[in-house]
Homo-oligomer: A and B are copies of this chain.
Amino acid sequence: MSVAVYDRSPTQAAARQLLADYTHVLDEGPLTDWPTFFTESCLYRITTRQNEERNMPLSIMLCDNHAMLYDRVEAVEKANIFEPHYYRHILSDTRTLRTTADSTWLQTSFICVRTMLDGQMCLFAAGKYVDEVVMHEDRCLFRSKTVVLDSSQVDTLIAKPL
């Protein structure tokens, strides 16, 4: 397996555009585009704030390679085990945590409103994204994305990624 080389750390503006495009796809689809925001070798994780603060590696959802992201999409699209719903992500400011030789780590607070097809609407999730982004052929991508939820009482059947 060849290892991708990324030769510069993205700017915060590039990372922010990635986040805007990413949440747009989660909110409006197509969900099959979701994996395209990640590098081939990647990490996607949903965890809770309490786990993070206790340094517990427990995850609610974990995908540690690209194929698993596609599996997830297929499960969501095919299985249809959950009631259809819409997401609406609202992002607050992005803060750059640190820059490495080839990547940038950033943190962004967000909330997600969920609307069921019958019209019922609720504040579904609040938390932060902790992201490592890289530049790959002039496109900004997530090498690692951790969704840290403020609430530990999350719907255990989170079907669509956040």
Contacts and interface: CB of A to CB of B under 8 A. Distances in A.
A113 B111 contact: yes
Contact of A150 (B16, B20, B24, B121): B121
Contacts of A86: 49, 150
B113 A123 contact: yes
Nearest to A21: B95
B90 A90 contact: yes
B88 A91 contact: no
Interface string A45-57: 0000110000000
Interface string A15-31: 01001110110010000
A140 B41 CA distance: 40
A122 B113 CA distance: 12
Q: Which of the four size classes fits the interface of chain A?
A: 35 or more
23 contacts: A16-B93, A19-B93, A20-B93, A23-B93, A24-B109, A27-B109, A49-B86, A49-B115, A50-B117, A88-B127, A88-B128, A89-B109, A90-B91, A90-B110, A91-B93, A111-B111, A113-B123, A113-B150, A115-B126, A120-B153, A121-B123, A121-B153, A123-B123
Interface of A: 16, 19-21, 23-24, 27, 49-50, 86, 88-95, 107, 109-111, 113, 115, 117-123, 126-128, 150-154
